[in-house]
Amino acid sequence: MNSSTLTSDLYCVMGNPVAHSRSPAIHARFAELTGQHLRYERRLIALDGFAQGVRDFIAEGGRGCNITVPFKFEAPALASVCSERVRLAGAANTLSLQPDGSIHADNTDGLGLVADITRNAGVPLQGARVLLVGAGGAAAGVLGPLLQAGVRHITLANRTVAKAEALVASHSALAALQKAELLALSPQAVEGDFDVIINATASSLAGDAVPVPASVLRPGSLAYDMMYGPAAQGFLDWAQAHGAVARDGLGMLVEQAAEAFAIWRGVRPPSAQVLEELRRTPH
């Protein structure tokens, strides 16, 4: 038995707000199912106190943390080692706090999205035409892993087109390497339909309509909202009304947590089982 399984290592999720986070329950279940001994807590961090919060957690003996809104963009600056995914996204959601005091940053959001679409929903991304709506932090975090999953084309549609263009520019080398086409447009200018439509905007939170025309959907398209719960409902209803297969982001949440767990513990948890359990017991 590995010595680390004999002690109860400390992990947390840091954010503001963080009370709603389902990460503690997900990681506790992963630990139970894999026989890993760990504690995973919630840490509400002052908006101007992220670096101090991480230092305090290291002083407590913390081994790793997940970072959520609004600190994902601050996290890379604290790290001595950033993964390629962090460099591409400019944001991190997983910090590994090493025994020598160094901090390693990774971003598992995009891996979580790809895993949920391909493994849990059973929709292939290889060769797919994808519409990614939004160009904020959520979109930035998943663009690289979508390209690496072998998609053929991604249209990035955003209200502020300049932000979509900036993401296209920062990912153009990877797109060329993957032989994928990347295009930035305003939502109204999008033409044709897509295999997969991903909503990475906060429009439903604002109570606004989905910002792309329904012609982007065709029967059987996968329409995916990166949010879950009531925040995703407007998008899911819209997608279903137009014959698409609608899916919320609960699976992405579980799969990004599973990737973080695997980075920290070297063990892959049974994420599909935990997702099923969560769906049976809504928050």
- Kindly indicate which of the ranges 60-68, 103-111, 152-160, 216-224 contains the residues binding ligand ATR, using the contact rule CB under 6 A: 152-160
Give the one residue of 102, 160, 188, 215 binding ligand ATR; rule: CB under 6 A. 160
Q: Report the amino acid identity of residue 175.
A: A
Pairing mode of beta strands 222-225, 245-247: parallel
Distance CA 188, CA 59 (A): 50
The residue among 177, 200, 71 whose CA lies nearest residue 131 is: 200
Q: Is 181 in the site for ligand ATR (CB under 6 A)?
A: no
- Kindly indicate which of the ranges 49-57, 115-123, 158-166, 259-267 contains the residues binding ligand ATR, using the contact rule CB under 6 A: 158-166
Q: Is 211 in the site for ligand ATR (CB under 6 A)?
A: yes
Q: At what angle do helices 250-265 and 23-34 cross, to 10 degrees?
A: 50
| Nearby residues of 243 by Cβ (< 8 Å), 6 or more positions away | 217, 218, 219, 220, 221
Q: Is 270 in the site for ligand ATR (CB under 6 A)?
A: no
CB of 92 to ligand ATR, least distance (A): 13
* Residue 142 burial (10 A CB sphere; 0-12, 13-18, 19+): buried
Distance CA 163, CA 185 (A): 10
Interaction mask 102-141, ligand ATR, x per CB under 6 A? --------------------------------xxxxx---
- Closer residue to ligand ATR (CB): 180 or 210: 210
Binding site for ligand ATR (CB under 6 A): 134-138, 158-160, 163, 200-203, 206, 208, 211
